[in-house]
Every structure is written in structure tokens, then in C-alpha cells.
Structure 1
Amino acid sequence: MDNYFGKPGATTLHETIESYIAGQMVQESGVSSGNSNSEGSVYEAAHDEASGIAPQSGSVFDDFYDASGNPSEGSIPNGGQGSIKVKEGDRKAKTIWSYP
């Protein structure tokens, strides 16, 4: 992702800062956050704060499908498949993760 956008290390720095901020938030509250889909998750707040300090190198989009080939938003259902890609302007999209 960073190589695609020409910003080596940007996303690693973002993710490191984001996890540090999330850790501070849960230590202060005394309550575990759970994943980004969990009620009460600190993910969005930590992500937003980290983005102001060290933005990711660019944006990603998902391309997920269920077992019947129907589009699925946000997750891959049982038996489904999908990928996460990066794209900028007219450049060809690049797959950075796929399943299965």
C-alpha cells in the first residue's frame, strides 16, 4: 500500500500510533474495547486521532462477495471470497489482501 502511493512507512506509523492511542483510551476507561464492530469500541476515535498525527498513505476499498457471488459489505460471509485493494486516480487498482 505504501509503495503504491509512494509513501514508504506511512501506514505502519499510522497503525502504530493508532494502537498506542487506543491502548491509552482503554487504560483510562478500564474497559476493554473489542474489535471495531463491537459496541463501545474505541477504534473510530483512535483512528481519527491517529489520522490527524500520521495519515495512512492512501485509501483502501473492499470487494467482498458471498458464496453465491452477491456483493457483501464490510465482511466476507461463510463460503464467500473477497479482496482489499488500493486505487488512485486512473492508475490500475492493486490487490493488497485476498481470501481465499
Structure 2
Amino acid sequence: QYATQNAQMTQAQKDDLRKQIQTNLQNYEQVASQIQSIIDTNEAEVMQRIAPKIQAIKENIVRQKNIDVLIDNRDRTVSYVKPEWDVTADFTKAINDQVK
């Protein structure tokens, strides 16, 4: 509306249209935030219900396929490391030795 009628609009009409646009944007942002909150809540509830099943499936596949390291393709995190490959304690000890 502004683009097509800009030349014929008074400053008051332009200001009113600008306020309407700002209000609409605020309403949109509020609704978008509410929708995202609902999505996050629902996703958390679903994950809470299925997480134990996913864990059992993962452990079974790791055992069957003799997997050493499993990386989650979604966020590139390591979701499993064979215990003998876990060097966390070694790093922690080395860091603590350096800090002393």
C-alpha cells in the first residue's frame, strides 16, 4: 500500500501505516515465539518418552556392529565411544598436572 500510494498519502497517513506495520510485526513476533515455545515443549516431551528406547537401540546396534565411535549426524556430537577409547581421564589428569 505504501509503495503504490506513497505520493498521495499525507504524513499522518504514512505515520499511521507505519504504526500498523510495527504492530503487525510485534504481533507476528509474539505468535512466532508462542509457536516456537509449543514446538520446543512438544519436542522435549517426545524425546523424554523415546530417549530410553533410542538408547537401547543404539547400544544394541553398537554391540552388533562392533562400533568404536558413533557420531550424531544431526549435530556432529560424539554419542558413543568404546570405553577403551575414552581418553577423558587422561586429558583431565594431564590438565590437572599442568595447572598444579
TM superposition score normalised by structure 1: 0.27
Structure having the higher strand fraction is: 1
Q: Which has the higher contact order (CA 8 A, sep 6+)?
A: 1
Structure having the higher helix fraction is: 2
TM superposition score normalised by structure 2: 0.27
Structure possessing the higher radius of gyration over alpha carbons: 2
